[in-house]
Structure 1
Amino acid sequence: MRIGFVGAGRMGRPMVERLVRAGHEVRALGRSPAARAALEALGARPVARAAGAVEDADAVMVCVFSDEQVQDVCLGGGLLSAMAAGSVVVLHTTGSPDTAVAVAGRAAPHGVRVVDCPVSGGPHDIAAGRLTLFAGGAADDVAKVEPALRAYGDPVVHVGGLGAGQRVKLVNNALFAAQIGLLAEAVRLAGRLGVEEAALLGALPHASSASRALSGVAGRGSVAAFAQAVGGFLTKDVDVVRAVAAEHGGGLGALDGALDALDDVLRNREP
């Protein structure tokens, strides 16, 4: 496939590498000479403008950091109008389902389709080809881009119509963040019982309380260290899911208390 790529950073660059290795023709946006040189070294064709990355592409992957950046790229510029009719834009950034719908509305007059496809995992998962992808959109659109997504994603889970990928990912991240908050409370309980955090984290991964959150915390050596490492993306996603839940007339229920505990850790506050 001919792939355009916008957002070749910490997550995007290993995606580009996997796409090239899978035999896809990739044109990727590099905003600086150094970035373009790095992309060229991966086997991609670097371009200095987003429109140059998407022209004649079968699919365009957008993997920027924030929902606001997705809006800037897809709604604030000429990216969609530069895409070929029949092509698909894939939104890998976690954000509001409303943004995916807005992009689709702007894309439709150009004959461009949209799949919202946020990801779960990190650069190491991309390198291993095991990134989890939550795809929302029409079945035909997801099927069209799946050969490219399979270059770095396994599983690729089609969870529903447009916006469903974002909704599932927001729930996932809210739950993951809450689990870290619960681990902070567990460490405090252990401390009151005379058990040091290191001893607790050395024991729990072998027991029924094991989880991906616990594995990450144990690997970093403390709840605080892991929370600081992942807090940058988790807090922005938690803000989004709280806003989306409020728009639907509710809160996050029991998750809220655990998320407050995580916030205490990130702010170095005592409960």
Structure 2
Amino acid sequence: MSAVGFVGAGRMGAPMVERLVQAGHEVRVLGRSAEKRSAIAGLGATAVATTAEVSDGADVVIVCVFTDDQVAELCLDGDLVTSMSAGATLVLHTTGSPRTAQSVAEKFPHVAVVDAPVSGGPHDIAAGNVTLFVGGAQDVLARIRPVLGAYGDPILHAGDTGAGQLVKLVNNTMFAAQIGLVVEGVRLGARFGVDEGALLNALTHGSAQSRALSMIASAGSAETFISRVGEFIGKDVAVVRRTVADLGGTLGDLQPLVNAVAP
């Protein structure tokens, strides 16, 4: 079993921590307030008050915060990585720019940096079957697979550090475009006088079926679905746009569909 440090025990991170503890790993989690530390203790992990305590002696340090800027603040500007032991592994689950993971790897060569953005939600993590797109050396992934396997399945190696983020950004772009396609289909149906609920239910049984369509149909309407997940989709689309621009590309023909979801 491994000594694991963890930052970001929120909506996505909390079930990860719980699964890690259940798998027998020794888990220390950052909790900056008494309330957070109490919640962490409830997960069966050890709560610590500083990032240096999170990483001190850890074999693997996992970061699961909300934004790429928070990752940069923790890993490039803070003491989280400087406190890690030589040969330890830093895992970044936050969806962000591949350049962030690569910059951390360049700045701190004493640790192995793995970017492993997730595809799925808290319920998938709790069930142990959230998808992980992993960028990093294959031997490093082999070494930490028992840790990631506590909640990740499948664990998909995408290439070198940063490649996991690139795969996730393509995934998120396509998902947003698929939602946008359903939105346009609903608008078309409305012009023809077709009830949205009936349309969505029917389409899930036709060749137009997709995971995005099923999720929207379950929500009852495109508007309801977007209102529930809009914050997360908007964040991911913003990362996509910024990263694509940084890499000198465009979203091409996907742009209008993405705009329908995140203007």
Match of 2:250, SS state, is coil
2:5 equivalent to 1:4: yes
RMSD between superposed Cα atoms in Å: 1.0
Output the amino acid matched with 1:66. Answer: T
| Deviations, residues 53-83 of structure 1 (Å, cap 9, x unaligned) | 1111110000000000000110111111111
Partner of 1:142: 141
Partner of 2:167: 168
Aligned residue pairs total 262
Partner of 2:118: 119
CA distance in 2, matches of 1:258, 1:162: 30
Match of 1:254, SS state, is helix
CA distance in 2, matches of 1:35, 1:244: 33
Match of 1:81, SS state, is coil
Q: Which runs of 5+ in 1 are unaligned?
A: 265-271
Greater Cα shift, 163-172 or 216-225: 216-225
Partner of 2:262: 263
Match of 1:23, SS state, is coil
Tell me the CA shift for residue 250 of structure 1. 2.4
Partner of 2:31: 30
Tell me the CA shift for residue 219 of structure 1. 1.3
TM-score for the superposition, normalised by structure 2: 0.97
CA distance in 1, matches of 2:104, 2:95: 14
Output the amino acid matched with 1:3. Answer: V
Output the amino acid matched with 2:7. Answer: V
2:70 equivalent to 1:99: no
Partner of 2:192: 193
Match of 2:24, SS state, is coil
Output the amino acid matched with 2:134. Answer: A
Partner of 1:239: 238
| Deviations, residues 124-178 of structure 1 (Å, cap 9, x unaligned) | 0001111000000111111111111001010000010110000000110111011
CA distance in 2, matches of 1:263, 1:25: 40
Output the amino acid matched with 2:167. Answer: V
TM-score for the superposition, normalised by structure 1: 0.94
2:43 equivalent to 1:42: yes
Tell me the CA shift for residue 103 of structure 1. 0.8
Match of 2:90, SS state, is strand
CA distance in 2, matches of 1:20, 1:210: 38
Output the amino acid matched with 1:23. Answer: G
Q: Is contact 2:132–2:153 with CA below 8 Å preserved after alignment?
A: yes
CA distance in 2, matches of 1:261, 1:41: 41
Partner of 2:227: 228
Taking only the aligned residue pairs, the percentage that are identical comes to 58
Partner of 1:183: 182
